[in-house]
Structure 1
């Protein structure tokens, strides 16, 4: 189902928030750190935190990788395109459209988002995290929809419906940038494939973050987090790439970007009580339980969840893992 991205021309302030698609919030069943906020039905059997890392089997997508450039230019990533002349849009260009109005401060913030890059070398390869672009929406839709379908044991026939809903959700949320951002992770193994060639770069995962009340989702799971504070949700990692630390670095990249973009000094997320692995990861990352769902939520067919919070340091200068990259090197 091919759908052209469309952006809302309405204000992205609290009174104008449009809820995602319908009424209820369905969250992913995690294996590491996050969930998807999706309006689909009144059922919510896997309410975790908008953020359980969901590691599900998805169609593998390869990404072009520009080798290290002179003068310490960082690598650049993009989806393969059927047209060799097509180029990935910058974040700023994609938002300078009729009916979309951004203040000078918002334009500056959007530029900072477009230049953010987190990188970390793992034992098995390297992971990069940056903000999602227009051309990458469909790939993230597949990752999230397939992850959700597997965790909820949905029939394969529903996958197209899920993709449709997820795409509408991503497009509507993306219209609230720069007050929120969807990050995507890429992974390149350090080994070689069966042909003796270097492994290709792959889409590895995604996570959503909101920086303030203007980027807050209109529908959040309980216990209610403060909407004027940064919030992490909708994390997913490709099943074939799990247990490599990618989820951990998606979390670390989210925290680093929040520290740079918000003066709040703290971030919130949810974690289901039954999810021991995500809870251990959050605890290791120094998240503390703020409050926990009442047992009465079980009557609503929802899992009990912890609302967790972490204090974050403010970052005034670019970190070693935050490197700007230029579209001149696509």
Structure 2
């Protein structure tokens, strides 16, 4: 179930798997631009709070969010210094390469694993293809996430346009951290229909501390461990087994990426159906939000944990409970 109580947005160009994974494949998509950092608590519409990014706070602009009594949000930016140079690999054939962080062989291998990751699932009602999101799918994925936020946070319709802008900036910036994180999408096509496959679900996975969110929800998961968040399924396609397959795909990718075997996710206390799915998938509650979280106009959440096996296995129940 989609539930990040706030997102940290830092706008930069994303990486595309359509590009060749050569040592310099990231450079053309990593043009150095001015950076924008936003932090927004979607669950704090009644009591707006100022949040700051923990990712190099001196390198990003500060954003102030305020909600006047007219229920509209105003955003004010203050620019600071530009971001670092884009990453690139060592290549002796290139003279005077642009200064910046280098891609080591491990990083290139991880990028290849992400680029090759692909799953196809067949149902009686249709087919589902799960893979990393491409640039061309950004708008549809953002729309799905924004709709899920509106639904789960009970936000008024006038927030929809602003929410879509903020989610777009968040997703674009998060994808800059690949291969330390990835956004997966599921493309669904109903059986017997000639229409093109549509984005039916999405999920975000961080693999280590470098891909961890700057300001994760409470209770906070360990930054060095894999973390699954922003998982949602389009409303008309829920209870069809799609969320269960998406969760399994996230787990299998974590194993392929050779990340730590302890994986974490959040589930709101009020979300009984997703909670049941996570429990049947092997997740256990390790911590629960204090009742005092209500003072920040947020809903209480469980922090759930699962120990993944060393090899990929069918470790998720085939229950019909699927609402995520």
Normalised TM-score (structure 2): 0.67
Deviations 1:209-242 (A, max 9, x none): 0000010001111111100000000012112222
Instruction: Map 1:209-228 to 2 at 5 A.
Output: 209-228=205-224
Instruction: Map 1:91-110 to 2 at 5 A.
Output: 101-110=102-111
In 2, are the aligned partners of 1:19 and 1:217 still within 8 Å (CA)?
no
Pair 1:243–1:164, CA change in 2 (3 A): same
- CA–CA separation in structure 2 for the residues paired with 1:311 and 1:177: 23
Q: CA deviation at 1:189?
A: 1.7
Question: Considering only CA atoms, is the larger Rg found in Structure 1 or Structure 2?
Answer: 2
Alignment equivalent of 1:247, drawn from 232, 243, 250: 243
Alignment equivalent of 1:258, drawn from 250, 254, 260: 254
In 1, are the aligned partners of 2:201 and 2:234 still within 8 Å (CA)?
yes
Structure 2: any 5+ residue segments left out of the alignment? 1-10, 16-25, 27-34, 45-62, 68-85, 90-97, 315-324
Q: CA deviation at 1:101?
A: 4.2
Matched residues, number: 241
In 1, are the aligned partners of 2:42 and 2:153 still within 8 Å (CA)?
no
Q: CA deviation at 1:148?
A: 1.5
Q: For residue 123 of structure 2, what is the aligned residue in structure 1?
A: 122
In 1, are the aligned partners of 2:119 and 2:129 still within 8 Å (CA)?
yes
Q: For residue 310 of structure 2, what is the aligned residue in structure 1?
A: 314
In 2, are the aligned partners of 1:187 and 1:203 still within 8 Å (CA)?
yes
In 2, are the aligned partners of 1:124 and 1:190 still within 8 Å (CA)?
yes
Pair 1:145–1:286, CA change in 2 (3 A): same
Q: For residue 158 of structure 2, what is the aligned residue in structure 1?
A: 157
Pair 1:40–1:312, CA change in 2 (3 A): farther
Alignment equivalent of 2:39, drawn from 7, 22, 28: 22
**Hey, which bits of structure 1, 4+ residues long, moved more than 4 A?**
39-43, 94-101
Instruction: Map 1:15-54 to 2 at 5 A.
Output: 21-24=38-41, 26=43
- CA–CA separation in structure 2 for the residues paired with 1:42 and 1:269: 29
- CA–CA separation in structure 1 for the residues paired with 2:65 and 2:242: 31
Choose between structure 1 and 2 for higher RCO, CA contacts under 8 A separated by at least 6 residues. Answer: 1
* Secondary structure class of the residue paired with 1:243: coil
In 2, are the aligned partners of 1:186 and 1:203 still within 8 Å (CA)?
yes
In 2, are the aligned partners of 1:149 and 1:159 still within 8 Å (CA)?
yes
* Secondary structure class of the residue paired with 1:175: helix
Pair 1:41–1:304, CA change in 2 (3 A): farther
- CA–CA separation in structure 2 for the residues paired with 1:41 and 1:306: 27
In 2, are the aligned partners of 1:186 and 1:201 still within 8 Å (CA)?
yes
